[in-house]
Amino acid sequence: MKNVINLLVVFGMMFVLNIKAQSHDEEWSKLVEQDSVDITSISLYPKNTRTTIFKICTQSEGMVKLKDIQEKSQENFRKEISKFSQADQENIWNMTRYPGLLDELAATKGEKKQIENILKKYPEEIRGYSLDYSVSHYGMIMSIYKISKDFETSFKNLVKTYPTDLQTAFQEIMKTPEVLTMLNNNIHMAIHLGSIYKSKPEFLENEMDKWGVMAAEQNTKEKEKWKKEMESDPAISSEMKESSKEFASDYGYTEKECGNVNPDEVVKYVYIPYAYWSGYPFWYESPIWYPYPYWYHSGFYYWNNSIIWLGPPSYFFVSWHFHNHDHIHHYPHLTNTYINQYYYGPRGTISRNSAEVNNWMRANEKTLPTDFKTNLSERINRLREFGKSGVDRENYLKTNPARKVTHEEYIRNNQNQYPHLKNPETKDIKSPEIKSKEPIKSGTEIKQPQPVQKDPKPTPSTPKPGKKQPAPSTPPLKSAPPKSIPTQEPGK
């Protein structure tokens, strides 16, 4: 039913676009206003990748059908490897990242010597478990190989009626699976991009070029500002380091992965995604198509025991931070830095990080004191108490599941525990105290303070993942040429 609805949405929007005599300048202006974050992400890709994206957007029906094929393939893959431990599943997922590996292993019939020879040309980090699975679990290797081939057959049947350039575009777009996820999650934007590209391809290319230059400049300024904050304020940098340790623990990064890193490895790191047909590991809270190294998420690394700041943490890291009240409680200086940079910072800043922080502030601004923005001296204490009150409320609801109390109500009912979250007292200096008991004459306007509205939907606190999450997979194939991908997608 969901897939039928998606197709109906596609056909409906295409019909509207055909009958609406709307200039593409106007259509583009509305699009960047409504979908600025995704437009920014697309603008940061190389020009040839952007052109591929635009071509795919002209075939929104095919894009939705490809998603259906992928979801079926992903479901079959997950089912096949579900009998293995999570650590083993991570390794098997990692094997899908190397094109041709499963084809070669499936042809060996589990013969050890032949497998060892094949694995010599792949990264050393994957050879051990790839050999083990191919010998001891050859049946599983054959099953997931067949799943990949079934996907390939369905894909070819889908695109065989398209012109050659569109067939190539669909093949190329699967090399950046995060783009397909973004387009399918924002079909509205995809259809409009396709509409503009069909009629005025040069216009769209030029506008996206300009947007990309602006976004790149913004990223540079954002990185420099973040590095300056970290280098100049020990309280913030200390919390950033501690927060990163907790993040590393939550997601299974080893001490070695969090230790010294050669700067050359950072510059030359090759990003290879999981195969589109297999999907990404299901335990990630948001789409993570690339097993990023620790420093990509944290925004810094150590070299010769000195810290090297790269820039702000990834979107995945920022989202992890704001979806747990305990992080707000323990890292108030860091939280305040996020808020200052992405919410109270320069207008026009567009990124997934800014969207995450803006969403959190909008969801909680009615619960925070009314002078939260202006009273800077109280900001840190307020964030610390706000996080603590969120944790306390969650614990209260666990023992009192029948009680439906919002975060705002919980703070108000326990005000003495959170003194810094009290709203400032307001004095009406214009209205003298009325001592007379005489009734007020009819027609007299009485101005009363307006009550603070309650927020019926406070930001939920997403449970933290287990402490035994597997580490992101091993470094990518060293012989592969570095792949240029936007620093913002998916996560920056």
Q: Is residue 224 part of a domain?
A: no
* 131 and 170 both lie in a single domain: yes
pLDDT band at 1 (very low <50, low <70, confident <90, very high): low
* Amino acid 348: pLDDT: 59
Report which of 245, 248, 256, 252 is spatially closest to residue 469, judged by C-alpha positions.
252
With tokens 């009734």, the residue in question is 439
Give the pLDDT of residue 445.
Answer: 41
Whether 177 and 292 map to the same domain: the answer is no
* Residues 260 and 208 placed together within one structural domain of the fold: no
| Whole-angstrom distance, CA of residue 105 vs CA of residue 114 | 9
- Structural domain contains residue 472: yes
Model pLDDT for residues 356-389, shown as the tens digit of each residue: 999 999 999 999 999 999 999 999 999 999 999 9
Residues 55 and 192 in one domain: yes
Is residue 370 in some structural domain?
yes
pLDDT in tens, 445-469: 434 344 444 444 444 444 444 333 3
- Is 135 inside a domain boundary? yes
pLDDT tens-digit map of 384-426: 999 999 999 999 999 999 998 999 999 999 999 999 999 987 4
Residue 274 has pLDDT above 90, yes or no: yes
Whether residue 198 is found in the same domain as residue 308: no
Structural domain count of the chain: 2
Mean pLDDT computed over 80-109: 97
Assess whether 198 and 239 both reside in one domain. no
Q: Are residues 208 and 237 in the same domain?
A: no
**Mean pLDDT value across residues 239-257:** 94
Sorting pLDDT into bands at 50, 70 and 90, what band is 325? very high
Share of the chain above pLDDT 70, in %: 81
Per-residue pLDDT of 281-300, as tens digits, reads: 998 878 899 999 999 999 99
Question: In whole angstroms, what is the distance from residue 21 CA to residue 440 CA?
Answer: 60
Q: What pLDDT is stored for residue 346 in this prediction?
A: 76
pLDDT at position 353 is 94
Whether residue 118 sits in one domain with residue 60: yes
Same domain assignment for residues 205 and 240: no
Residue type, 1: M
Give the alpha-carbon dihedral of 170, 172, 177, 178, to 10 degrees: -100
pLDDT at 479 (0 to 100): 34
pLDDT tens digits along 44-84: 999 999 999 999 999 999 999 999 999 999 999 999 999 99
Q: Is position 366 within any domain?
A: yes
pLDDT band at 433 (very low <50, low <70, confident <90, very high): very low
Q: Give residue 24's pLDDT band: very low, low, confident or very high (50, 70, 90).
A: low
- Contact between 488 and 355 under an 8 Å Cβ cutoff? The reply is no
pLDDT digits (tens, 9 = 90+) for 135-156: 999 999 999 999 999 999 999 9
Whether residue 189 is found in the same domain as residue 292 = no
* Residue 154: predicted pLDDT: 98
- Determine what percent of the chain is predicted with pLDDT higher than 90: 75
What is the C-alpha to C-alpha distance for residues 41 and 351, in angstroms, rounded to an integer? 8
Q: DSSP string covering 229-295, please?
A: HHHH-HHHHHHHHHHHHHHHHHTT--TTTTSB--HHHHHH----PPPTTT-S-TTSSS---S---HH
Q: What pLDDT, on the 0 to 100 scale, is given for residue 285?
A: 76
What's 344-372 look like in SS3? CCCCCCCCHHHHHHHHHHHHHCCCCCCCC
* 221 falls within a domain: no
Which residue would you say has higher pLDDT here, 17 or 392? 392
Indicate if the pLDDT at residue 7 is higher than 60: no
Residue 251 sits in the same domain as residue 195: no
Res 22: pLDDT: 53
- Higher per-residue pLDDT: 201 or 477: 201
- Cβ proximity of 189 and 38 under 8 Å: yes
307 and 182 in a single domain? The answer is: no
261 in any annotated domain = yes
Which among 181, 212, 243 is the end of a domain? 212
Domain for residue 432, yes or no? no
Q: Is the pLDDT score of 488 beyond 50?
A: no
Owning domain of residue 169: 2-212
> What confidence score (pLDDT) does residue 95 get?
98
Separation of alpha carbons 414 and 410, rounded Å: 6
